[in-house]
Amino acid sequence: MKLQKIFNLKKPVRVFSGNPLWKGESINGLYEWKTNIEYHCIIIHSDNKLHSYEYDNILAHEYIHAWQCEMGLKLSHGKVFKWWAEKLAEYGYRVSKRQ
C-alpha cells in the first residue's frame, strides 16, 4: 500500500535526492517542514547504493515524521513513532525506530 494512502496526509510530500546531514553527520534520510512552502520535504541520500526495499523503508521512516508534523507532535522516535513503525510492518515495511 502506498504511504500517502496509509498516512492520509493533508499536505503533499516531495522527495528529493541529496546529501542530508544531521548534526554534521551524513544520514540516509531527512524530513524537513518548509514553513513558507506548503509541502513536506523528504531528502534521501543520493550517493548510497540503496536497494528498493531500503529506499522504501527510509521513506516510510520519514513519512512518520511528516505525520507527526501534521498532528502537531514533536518530531521524535518515541512511543508514537514506534507504534507507526509496528503498524507499517503490517504492510511489509521495516522501519528503523531510531535515527
CATH number for the domain harbouring residue 20: 3.30.2010
Does residue 94 lie in a domain region? Answer: no
Torsion of CA 15, 17, 18, 22, to 10 degrees: 40
pLDDT reported for residue 17: 86
CB 67 within 8 A of CB 9: yes
Q: Is residue 85 part of a domain?
A: yes
Quote the pTM value.
0.89
Structural domains counted in the chain = 1
Q: Quick check: is 75 in a domain? A: yes
Residue 20 identity: P
3-state secondary structure of 42: strand
Range of the domain at 38: 3-89
97 part of a folded domain: no
pLDDT by 10s per residue, the chain, length 99: 699 999 999 999 999 988 887 877 877 888 987 667 789 999 998 876 778 888 999 999 999 999 999 999 999 999 999 999 999 999 999 998 776
Q: Are 40 and 68 in contact (CB under 8 A)?
A: no
> Looking at the domain assignment, is residue 67 inside a domain?
yes
Would you state the pLDDT for residue 99?
A: 63
